[in-house]
Structure 1
Amino acid sequence: MGLTVHLLGPPRVERPDGDGHQMRSRKSWALLACLVLGERPPTRSRLAGLLYAEAQDPMRALRWGLAEIRRCLGVTLDGDPVVLGLPPDAVVDVTVLTHGAWAAAVDLPGLGADLLEGVTVRDAPAFESWLLSERRRIAAAAEAILHEAALGRLAEDDLEAASRLAVRAAAMSPLDENHQALLIRLYRLAGDDRAAEQQFAAVTALFRKELGVAPGRAVEQAMAEGRRHREVVADDASVEAIVESGAAAVAAGAVETGVRSLRTAIGLADRSGHAPSRLAARLRLAEALIHSTRGMDEEGLAVLYEAERLGLADGDPAAVARARAEIGYVDFLRARYDRSHRRLTDALTVAGGSGPIAARATTYLGAVESDRAAYASAVRLLDRAAGLARSCADPRTEAYALSMLGRVHLLTGAVGPAAEHLDAAIRLAERDHWLAFLPWPQALRGEVHLAASETAAAAAVLQQAFARACQLGDPCWEGIAARSLALTAEAAGRTAEAFALLADARRRSNRMADSYVWLDAYILDAQCELGRRHGHPNAPLWVGALRRLASRTGMREMIVRAMWHGAALGHAGDHDAARLLAGDIANPVLDALLAQDPSRYRVSAASDGASTI
């Protein structure tokens, strides 16, 4: 066995030569974690600022820590930025957890344990902020692996193993509706109706107590799941006809009817054993559940894992790529960015460099990079995705890619390119009669109008976007439009209305289990900004919520923004930590924010709009 580094739980190292040397300094373990978990090699000045700012000679203290890591691991470690030269066969548990296959990650001995458990570092407030964020992110990654592994075992028809994994995921985050829906579905599929009913009752009581609401559609649909039967054989031609009619119904807007037909088709195809029909029915149903039916992503994911397994068994790379791209899309919505990136990269590898699947996967990858604040990479990917979609005459994927490209330019302050790309996305959607998508680029276009001080134009497009979103009943589109309307109200001096609209935006965007998590952070950031500026008494609560959410998901810019808001509220060390963590985020808008003195923005609570929520 090669070099193995354990950072989950109490840290330790296993060397192939049997050397039992372990690092004595807590800061050396902390330094190793920084080197392993960074997205790119960190500079020496950043590492010194994170861990050794209080030392008399920070760079000398850093050199000592690097030397201890070299001795312990027996590896090369040098340069500026600092590059950790691990051998090819080395295993680092956190890397397996975030980037490896679920089959390997689920067997990690430290799965579910804290990162650097028992390690505390004094006199390093910036590192403490970083470590808290990373611990939350790693805990979320463990949750995601357990959920993914449960779906994988379900696809293999190992319901007992899947249930054990789903129980662990639900225990880690009991208020995650998707974990609970999966567990209940597994009990129902196994024929254990009593366990399903008990779990449903317990979840309902928990949600009412903690959230004041009943579980949503995903849990209700899981309770409606029936036990699998395999004894009847159907005619292949009939199955194919049902698949096509179901898909046509979904495309025509009769989504519930189409979904019922596709569910029936899966059962009939499984009984017939006709491989193409089994795959086609699953892929069509999954895409309908994810893209056309709100609150049903969890069932769609389970179907996609089955489609992926069948595609691999039948030697159908196009089906495998299609399934992986859609799994990656759902992980993107849930802000499981490492898992999403892995799935989408795999989809591209299988699909090749062209065609509609490659266009879609590249679009989703660009969106992932944008959410994580890797803006230059996002622009390259989304530009390429729009070109791929155009080359294969896929206007909807092109419109989506252009809308995400417009969003990147909006977030980075490039108002002209943002307007250009969003206008193009709106034209494409209108030309293709994709009215269900229009509120998204329209809401972003409204924000571009605001950034250009075109308040009247912003109000006009945003009111239309919000009305359309409400007619569609789409939580995400309603949320983004309501957020933008709140900014319009604030720009017009209607502060109380702005606070009320932001609260409404969060309620709308989060009312279903398959919400777009980045949007929740985006709305929270606006609440923090307005709350801090106007001294709202809930501002500290919003800043804490944004920090927890951004930390769990790895939204790098949102973490920095939460810290800056915290600094403006008087939290010691947050401003320095924010500047250090923003070092590799290329965003002029963020740079301008961090260049300001946050103490200038401290105001007493309960000013404009303080009693509106």
Structure 2
Amino acid sequence: MGLTVHLLGPPRVERADGVADPMRSRKSWALLACLILSERPLTRGRLAGLLYAEAEDPLRALRWGLAEIRRGLGVTVDGDPVVLTLPPDAVVDVDVLAHGSWAAAVDLPGLGSDLLEGLTVRDAPAFESWLLSERRRTAAAAEAILHEAALGRLAADDLDGASRLAQRAAGMSPLDENHQALVIRLYRLAGDDRAADRQFAAVTELFRKELGVAPGRAIEQAMGEGRRQREVAADDASIEAILESGAAAVAAGVVETGVRSLRTAVRLADRAGSGPLRVTARLRLAEALVHSLRGMDEEGLAVLYEAERLGLDAGYPVAVARARAEIGYVDFLRARYDRSHRWLTDALTVAGGSAGITARVTTYLGAVESDRAAYGPAARLLEQAAGLARSCADRRTEAYALSMLGRVHLLTGALEPAAEHLEAAIRLAERDHWLAFLPWPQALRGEVHLAAAEPAAAGVVLQQAFARACQLGDPCWEGISARSLALAAEAGGATERAFDLLADARRRSNRLADSYVWLDAYILDAQCSLGRRHGHPTTPLWVGALRRLASRTGMREMTVRAMRHSAALGNAGDHDAARLLAAGIANPTLDELLA
């Protein structure tokens, strides 16, 4: 066995030569974690300031720590910035957790344990701040793996194995509605209705006690699940007719009726044993659940995992690519960015050169990179996606890609290209009668008007966006529109209204289990900024919520912004930690904030 590095749980190293626990210094373990987990190599000056600022000679202390890593692991670690070079066959548990398959990650011995468990480092407040964020991120990654593995086992009809994994995920985050919905759905599928009833009662009590709300649609739908039964046989022509009618109903806006037809088509295709129709029916059902019926992403994910498995077994690469693309999209919405990136890149490998699928996947990849504040790669991906979508006359994918590209420019302060791309997205959506999408680019366009000191123009477009979002009943579009209206209210001197609108924006955007998590962070950041400017007493609570959310999900800029807010409130170490994390983010707007 080659080199294996365990950072989850008590840190340890296994070497091919049998040397165990080779490093004694806590700061050497901390240094190793920094080198492994940092997305870009860090300079010696930053590492010395992070861990050895209290030493008489910080750079000398750093050299000692690097030497201990070099001896302990038998690896090369040198340079400035410092580069750790591991053997090609080395296994690092945190890397497997983020980028490996769920089948490999679910068997990690430290899965669910704290990063660097039991390790504390004295006189290093910036490192402690960094470590807290990384611990939250790896804990969230472990939850995501357990949930993903449960769905994978469900797709393989291993209900017992799926149930055990789903219960572990729910135990790590009991207030996650999607975890609880999966546990209940698995009980119902297994025919254990008493266990499902007990779980539902316990979850209902927990949600009412902790959140003051009843369980949402995802859990209600899970309770309506039943043991899988056989349907009367139907031929392929009949199944295709049901599929077409279901898809047409969804497209016409009669979504629940269409979804019922699509569910029937899935059951009939299974009864008939028709390989192509079993996959096609699941893909159409899943896309309707994910994109058209709010609060149903969890059921959609389960169907996508089944479609992916069936497509692999039958040798349908395009279907596999579609399934992986949509799984990646749901993970993107849930801010499980490492998992999303894996599914999306896997989709590209099997897409077979299909311009339509490649355009959609590339759009999703660009959105993932944008959420993670990798703005340069995000812009390149989104430009490529828009071009691909244009080449195959896919107006909706082009509009979505352009809206995300406009957002990149807005966030980085490039207002002219932001306005250009958002206007183009609005025109495409209107031309294709995609009214359900319009509030998103309109709300962002309103923010560009505000940033350009054009309050009258902002007011017109934002009121239209908010009214349309409310008519649609879309939580995400309502949330982004209300946030933008809050900015407009503050710009007009209506500070109390701005606070009210931001609180309302969070309530709206989070009312369903399949909300867009980045948007919640975006609204929270506005609350923190407004609260600091006006001395609002709830500001520390908002800062803490943003810090927890951003660090759990790996939203790098949002984590930096949370640390900046925290530092302004007097929390030691957060300013230096923010500058450390911001070093790899190419955003002039953020640079100005940290100057």
TM-score over 0.5 for the pair: yes
Counterparts of 1:195 and 1:169 in 2: how far apart (Å)? 17
On the 8 A contact 1:248/1:258 being kept in 2, the answer is: yes
On the 8 A contact 2:318/2:352 being kept in 1, the answer is: no
Partner of 1:249: 249
Q: Secondary structure at the match of 1:157?
A: coil
Counterparts of 1:393 and 1:68 in 2: how far apart (Å)? 58
Partner of 2:450: 450
Counterparts of 2:354 and 2:316 in 1: how far apart (Å)? 17
Alignment of 1:27-176 (within 5 A): 27-176=27-176
Deviation at 1:20, TM superposition (A): 2.6
Partner of 2:477: 477
Q: Secondary structure at the match of 1:114?
A: coil
Q: 5+ residue gaps in structure 2?
A: none
The answer to which of 581-590 and 344-353 deviates more is 344-353
Matched, 1:549 2:549: yes
On the 8 A contact 1:557/1:585 being kept in 2, the answer is: yes
Partner of 1:598: none
On the 8 A contact 1:365/1:381 being kept in 2, the answer is: yes
Counterparts of 1:463 and 1:138 in 2: how far apart (Å)? 40
Partner of 1:610: none
Per-residue Cα deviation, 1:291-350 (whole angstroms, up to 9, x for no partner):
000000000000000000000000000000000000000000000000001111111111
Counterparts of 2:162 and 2:354 in 1: how far apart (Å)? 36
Deviation at 1:21, TM superposition (A): 5.0
Deviation at 1:582, TM superposition (A): 0.8
Q: Say how many residue pairs are matched.
A: 595
Matched, 1:418 2:445: no
Aligned-partner residue type, residue 297 of structure 2: D
The answer to which of 109-118 and 78-87 deviates more is 78-87
Deviation at 1:244, TM superposition (A): 1.4
TM-score, scaled to structure 2: 0.99
On the 8 A contact 1:449/1:457 being kept in 2, the answer is: yes
On the 8 A contact 2:216/2:513 being kept in 1, the answer is: yes
Aligned-partner residue type, residue 322 of structure 1: R
Counterparts of 1:235 and 1:353 in 2: how far apart (Å)? 32
Partner of 2:491: 491
Counterparts of 1:376 and 1:427 in 2: how far apart (Å)? 25
Q: Secondary structure at the match of 2:497?
A: helix
Deviation at 1:40, TM superposition (A): 2.2
The answer to which of 274-283 and 37-46 deviates more is 37-46
Counterparts of 2:387 and 2:40 in 1: how far apart (Å)? 28
Matched, 1:315 2:320: no
Q: Secondary structure at the match of 1:108?
A: coil
Counterparts of 2:556 and 2:454 in 1: how far apart (Å)? 30
Q: Secondary structure at the match of 1:126?
A: helix
Counterparts of 1:44 and 1:416 in 2: how far apart (Å)? 39
Aligned-partner residue type, residue 273 of structure 1: G
Q: Secondary structure at the match of 2:32?
A: helix
Q: Secondary structure at the match of 2:77?
A: strand
Partner of 2:5: 5
Deviation at 1:500, TM superposition (A): 0.2
Per-residue Cα deviation, 1:454-488 (whole angstroms, up to 9, x for no partner):
00100100000000000000000000000000000
Per-residue Cα deviation, 1:545-592 (whole angstroms, up to 9, x for no partner):
000000100111111111111111121222222112211111111111
Partner of 1:436: 436
Q: 5+ residue gaps in structure 1?
A: 596-613
Partner of 1:362: 362
Deviation at 1:387, TM superposition (A): 0.7
Partner of 1:286: 286
The share of aligned pairs that are identical, in percent, is 85
Aligned-partner residue type, residue 3 of structure 2: L
Per-residue Cα deviation, 1:529-552 (whole angstroms, up to 9, x for no partner):
000100000000000000000010
Counterparts of 2:467 and 2:353 in 1: how far apart (Å)? 39
RMSD of aligned Cα (Å):
0.9
Aligned-partner residue type, residue 158 of structure 2: D
Matched, 1:333 2:325: no
Aligned-partner residue type, residue 476 of structure 1: C
Aligned-partner residue type, residue 163 of structure 1: S
On the 8 A contact 1:4/1:91 being kept in 2, the answer is: yes
Q: Secondary structure at the match of 2:120?
A: coil
Deviation at 1:103, TM superposition (A): 0.3
Partner of 1:205: 205
Per-residue Cα deviation, 1:168-199 (whole angstroms, up to 9, x for no partner):
00010000000000010000000111111110
On the 8 A contact 2:262/2:281 being kept in 1, the answer is: yes
Partner of 1:25: 25
Aligned-partner residue type, residue 349 of structure 1: T
Q: Secondary structure at the match of 1:84?
A: strand
On the 8 A contact 1:49/1:580 being kept in 2, the answer is: no
Partner of 1:194: 194
Counterparts of 1:212 and 1:329 in 2: how far apart (Å)? 30
Aligned-partner residue type, residue 341 of structure 1: H
Counterparts of 1:377 and 1:231 in 2: how far apart (Å)? 48
The answer to which of 233-242 and 384-393 deviates more is 233-242
Deviation at 1:78, TM superposition (A): 1.6
Matched, 1:347 2:322: no
On the 8 A contact 2:407/2:444 being kept in 1, the answer is: yes
On the 8 A contact 1:411/1:589 being kept in 2, the answer is: yes
Aligned-partner residue type, residue 222 of structure 2: A
Counterparts of 1:172 and 1:36 in 2: how far apart (Å)? 25
Matched, 1:376 2:376: yes
Deviation at 1:43, TM superposition (A): 2.2
Counterparts of 1:579 and 1:92 in 2: how far apart (Å)? 26
Per-residue Cα deviation, 1:108-143 (whole angstroms, up to 9, x for no partner):
110000000011011111111110000000000000
On the 8 A contact 1:557/1:582 being kept in 2, the answer is: yes
Alignment of 1:260-299 (within 5 A): 260-299=260-299
Counterparts of 1:43 and 1:150 in 2: how far apart (Å)? 41
Partner of 1:306: 306
The answer to which of 217-226 and 569-578 deviates more is 569-578
On the 8 A contact 1:354/1:388 being kept in 2, the answer is: no
Counterparts of 1:240 and 1:50 in 2: how far apart (Å)? 62
TM-score, scaled to structure 1: 0.96
Q: Secondary structure at the match of 1:226?
A: coil
Q: Secondary structure at the match of 2:111?
A: coil
